[in-house]
Amino acid sequence: MPDQTLTDLRRQIDAIDDQILDLLNQRARLVIAVGKAKTDSRGDFYVPSREQAIHARLSAANPGPFPEEGVRRVFREIISASLSLEQPLKVAFLGPQGTFTHVAAMQQFGFSAQLVPIKSIPSIFDEVGRNRANYGVVPVENSNEGVVSHTLDMFMESDLKIIAEVLIEVSHDLLSRSGKIEDVRKVISHPQALGQCRAWLEENLPDVPLVDVASTAQAAQLAAEDEGVAAIASEAAATLYGLRAVKHRIEDNPNNFTRFLVIGRQMPDPGGADKTSIMFSVRDEPGILYRMLEPFSKRGINLSKIESRPMKGRAWEYIFFLDLEGHIRDERIASAIEELHQYCQFLKVLGSYPKAR
């Protein structure tokens, strides 16, 4: 009797799987029609706000027991495969494979996109700017270590736009070929990763030298070649390079997130829950910092971040980067930026894009 019940349940699952497959193909045919409509109207193939709306609607409608995160992952791949039917996407990211930027690119674009590792942040901007890639994914800040200055600097000379942002929870593992802490003779990683694990390393491996390399993924590659080398890298890097965990989650602060920006050539339309990023330089005069913020304060606009960088070639002059809630096409946002503009030597809107979930 139990075997008969199990067989019947499996038949029901098979029937449901057949329905899912049929529905996926129905969806694919509609996606192809959407792609043709976009081509005819010259619309953007990739619309981040549309994806976020799909995820939000399905998460709200999900009664369970299928987990909410599972819904997001399943539809991430459905959307990724659907986009490949409309137009195959080529996405440049800061490589090599196995970096957290790679993880961010996979989270944003799924496995059906062509993800291309690039060696430097300026080269990613160049790939997208020359239309050799549709989009690029670059790190911009970490909740513990601060901003990635190379990324901010690139916006000073690039006309590319921010079209989306991705937040990744950063969890560092200590990885080696053997997985044994007694075999570790040297620890290597990106300087930020080493900094984020400083307390654990001082307590558990106080006499082991720490060596900087270009990325956590490169560290994993090198650890795969030497029994005595341990890398601080992601779980994805361990899988990719055949390493074992000496210790999971060795970061000093478990509340550790890195924010990534997706860059492209066109700014997306408003999606309802947007963020706008601008950069500007102000004239050096009394009270300028107050007047710089007043246009946003009096309109009740929330500023989520403000950062300054030295202006190249001009001592003691600064470029400001500012993130605010809302889209540049919102009248309130546009008027605040226009008022700010009168105090600026220059001002550039870097993009309006959906806020990360």
Does residue 321 carry a catalytic annotation?
A: no
Of the residues 100, 260, 280, 320, only one is catalytic, namely 260
> What is the rounded CA–CA span in Å between residue 48 and residue 269?
9
Reduced to 3 states (helix: H, G, I; strand: E, B; else coil), residue 354 is strand
Closest by Cα among 187, 168, 165 to 236:
168
> What is the rounded CA–CA span in Å between residue 238 and residue 256?
19
> What is the rounded CA–CA span in Å between residue 263 and residue 124?
9
The structure tokens 């009248």 sit at 331
Would you list the DSSP string of 48-88? HHHHHHHHHHHHHH--SSS-HHHHHHHHHHHHHHHHHHH--
> What is the rounded CA–CA span in Å between residue 138 and residue 165?
10
Closest by Cα among 22, 152, 31, 7 to 87:
31
DSSP structure class, residue 106: H
User: Considering Cα of 353, then 91, then 35, then 21, what sign does the dihedral take?
Assistant: negative
> What is the rounded CA–CA span in Å between residue 140 and residue 258?
8
Question: Is the separation of the CB atoms in 167 and 353 below 8 Å?
Answer: no
Does residue 296 carry a catalytic annotation?
A: no
> What is the rounded CA–CA span in Å between residue 17 and residue 22?
9
Of the residues 99, 101, 151, 258, only one is catalytic, namely 258
Catalytic residue IDs: 258, 260
